Structure 1
């Protein structure tokens, strides 16, 4: 869907007008297209004394065919596609000045839709209060830097504890690529994991079976398309009433349509039976189905509350429990991705039921992560912010414009932005990402 204001602000007359009036000028974001290079320009890798990840970063960039420039060459080089800061060596507040001094010249050279990725150790693993304070300070540094960047550039923080260095490649590629166009100011903690020896760059899900609930339209249909593009056979699930739209999506991507009310008492058993008999198992499960029934708490009736909890939260619990219990159905290296919401983090007026259900998903993901680790699998959540869909297009213009502009990228996201993040979490190379919640919100000013 077109963003009229972004398009106007980037036109000849519109650019001059917005500049004169001091109005924001949202950039046209760099999004992923199969065959694209990882980055449109070279990278500068900078670090602090004692940093341990430079070699790992260099190997990832070399494999991707990215040119790496020396830090002292940044000022004279062509504009940069990205800058990576290895801050794993910081141990005292004084080290922060060293890190920012190394970072600043390269940030000035970023081109449109550039990337800043900061690598650090978790504060929870620190050996002293000073070291913990310094590591935690990087959180504030990155979130603030993300709000300073312009022209569609983003900044994100990857926490890499000792022993998890090998888990870095997949997440680093994601945050440098166009797949992460609407992911900004986020913090993701990696964990040690068994990584595949190799992964196909264009079709990392080749040969896998993926289930997507709520797949008939909107974000769910986008998820189904991106997973299919990445090689998966998609089982598209939605309520029987959406059968025609669901069949159209499934036919378009060469997948399978499965009409199912996920709140029905027999839904878990029916899904397990379908996956076992038709596909012999499942590799990726995306819990996307969700509804809203908005009302102020004082006016909230039982039907509104119960229906939202049933679809958005209880069904995810029931379906996942059944998949875990079905012997051998979740294949080795399985990925479960749950769709939460920014509302579940920040809350939203008139959405106590919806926000409660989406916050509950976050608790569920974190609680199940250890069991998934023990199985060699992962479970994560994405939390979309303002995503431009047919539903948001029906909002009053003022409400829609405010919702789409109050983020660092000054625009609403697209369904494909959510889908790309889910597809990344579904990849074999994301084995070291588990129990995480990744906001796809352009670093919304609402919530953390």
Structure 2
């Protein structure tokens, strides 16, 4: 469904009305297009004194050929040179320069007093970040801090990033990348994603990178040779996921109920994939998935996207509606994972990606069944992650207001509130969820395990 308010906001009279009434003003968001650089525009790089992740950050910027700059920081410039990154000089009094991304290494911040480094770096350039720009702060995972003071200071970074994401507007996103000791070499897939238009509707989020094997990949086709299974693939978000994974090189098995066979055939035909029409809640669903993928080399990626809503207030909810939602949205994922992990149904370095929801984080009126199921998905990810081996990972995305047939059926007033009550002042697109899932599905994302990332434009709901 089209966003009529956003279309109105682009018109001359719309701009006039919105400006004078102080209404939300949606900005057109840059989104990924094939055969384009990771980032198009200048990158400003900064670092707190004694930060330890600058070498890895500059190496990634060198790998993507970023047009990079820094202020008067000889130590940073020297580290960048060793990484093969040519860092241009930025005059800190220059108010005319504009930046598409700003990356700050905050790993050296050891105490509350040293948090002033954030202010000193960002305050002078806060107005110089371009539309659809990126703010990325890189720090040390507070759980791995060596002192209480360091843990406090590093945890404080989260409040800074979430606030910046709400202040800067213009489609600018702000993210925090926490790196565990020894995981420095595992940051590239996350940093590429956060810098690029793939993260257009992701803001105010925290990604935690842990130590894992570093694998070389083709960044143009990061899923080349992989087999992915996408449940609920016949339409909406599932269809977008199938398209994005196929774009990145995977053979996608599109799974949905038999009643959706026609749409499954359409989606699979568009991406040269295959279909599997089964009931995901069936006791033998995991076995059928394994069998379907066997001829393709086995399952490398499974995306648990299938889900339903049956909204009623708790007092008016029939038991069958409760059980149906819990079974499809949560219990079926548990059963399929249990089978695949227990019966060699997922290849080494496999990826499990689950779709939760902002309702599972914040709750929602009339959605006790749905919110319970989606909160359970978050629990499934959290408690499964440390049990995995052979390089297998599990992560989740939690969509907010995404423009689908489901949200188009929401009453007008509630729908408009869902669209406007976020830092982007607009709903997201199915492709925004799909791009984040592709991050977790990537062969290079070995260090991402147990993460839950909201794709919600930094929604005020559950913020």
Which range, TM-score by smaller chain? over 0.9
- Choose which of 367, 371, 375 in structure 1 pairs with 2:387: 371
Corresponding residue for residue 38 of structure 2 = 38
The question of 1:344 aligning with 2:367 is answered no
Rounded to whole Å, the distance in 1 between the matches of 2:152 and 2:283 is: 49
Corresponding residue for residue 82 of structure 2 = none
CA shift digits 1:52-82 (9 cap, x unpaired): 1111111111111111112251553631010
Matches within 5 A, 1:194-343: 194-197=213-216, 199-276=217-294, 278-327=295-344, 329-343=345-359
Contact 1:71 1:106 in 2 (8 A): no
Contact 2:290 2:299 in 1 (8 A): no
Aligned length: 444
TM-score normalised by L of structure 1: 0.97
Structure 1 residue 37: Cα displacement:
1.6
- Choose which of 151, 157, 161 in structure 2 pairs with 1:138: 157
Stretch moving more, 122-131 or 107-116: 122-131
CA shift digits 1:126-146 (9 cap, x unpaired): 222222211111111111111
Structure 1 residue 393: Cα displacement:
1.4
Contact 1:47 1:99 in 2 (8 A): no
Corresponding residue for residue 128 of structure 2 = 109
Contact 1:335 1:377 in 2 (8 A): yes
CA shift digits 1:162-203 (9 cap, x unpaired): 111011111011001000000000011110011112x22221
Corresponding residue for residue 155 of structure 1 = 174
Contact 1:44 1:106 in 2 (8 A): no
CA shift digits 1:63-118 (9 cap, x unpaired): 11111112251553631010001000001111111222112223321000000000
Rounded to whole Å, the distance in 2 between the matches of 1:300 and 1:153 is: 41
Contact 1:293 1:308 in 2 (8 A): yes
Rounded to whole Å, the distance in 1 between the matches of 2:138 and 2:447 is: 15
Contact 1:287 1:339 in 2 (8 A): yes
What do you get for the CA RMSD once the two structures are aligned? 1.3
The question of 1:20 aligning with 2:36 is answered no
Query: Where in structure 1 do 4 or more consecutive aligned residues deviate above 6 Å?
Result: none
Contact 1:115 1:176 in 2 (8 A): yes
Rounded to whole Å, the distance in 2 between the matches of 1:399 and 1:44 is: 39
Structure 1 residue 238: Cα displacement:
0.1
Rounded to whole Å, the distance in 2 between the matches of 1:353 and 1:18 is: 38
The question of 1:2 aligning with 2:2 is answered yes
CA shift digits 1:361-391 (9 cap, x unpaired): 111111111222x221110000000101112
What SS is found at the alignment partner of 2:155? Answer: helix
Rounded to whole Å, the distance in 2 between the matches of 1:28 and 1:330 is: 39
Rounded to whole Å, the distance in 2 between the matches of 1:133 and 1:426 is: 32
Rounded to whole Å, the distance in 1 between the matches of 2:356 and 2:315 is: 24
Corresponding residue for residue 411 of structure 1 = 426
Corresponding residue for residue 98 of structure 1 = 117
The question of 1:444 aligning with 2:459 is answered yes
Corresponding residue for residue 122 of structure 1 = 141
Contact 2:227 2:297 in 1 (8 A): no
Stretch moving more, 281-290 or 74-83: 74-83
CA shift digits 1:7-28 (9 cap, x unpaired): 2222333223211222221100
What SS is found at the alignment partner of 1:293? Answer: coil
Corresponding residue for residue 372 of structure 2 = 356
CA shift digits 1:423-447 (9 cap, x unpaired): 1110011111001101000111111
Corresponding residue for residue 51 of structure 1 = 51
Stretch moving more, 58-67 or 111-120: 58-67
Rounded to whole Å, the distance in 1 between the matches of 2:392 and 2:288 is: 23
Unaligned 5+ residue runs, structure 2?
A: 73-89
Rounded to whole Å, the distance in 2 between the matches of 1:113 and 1:321 is: 41
Unaligned 5+ residue runs, structure 1?
A: none
Rounded to whole Å, the distance in 2 between the matches of 1:366 and 1:235 is: 26
Rounded to whole Å, the distance in 2 between the matches of 1:398 and 1:318 is: 38
Rounded to whole Å, the distance in 2 between the matches of 1:398 and 1:184 is: 24
Stretch moving more, 61-70 or 262-271: 262-271
Matches within 5 A, 1:64-103: 64-72=64-72, 73=90, 75-76=93-94, 78-103=97-122
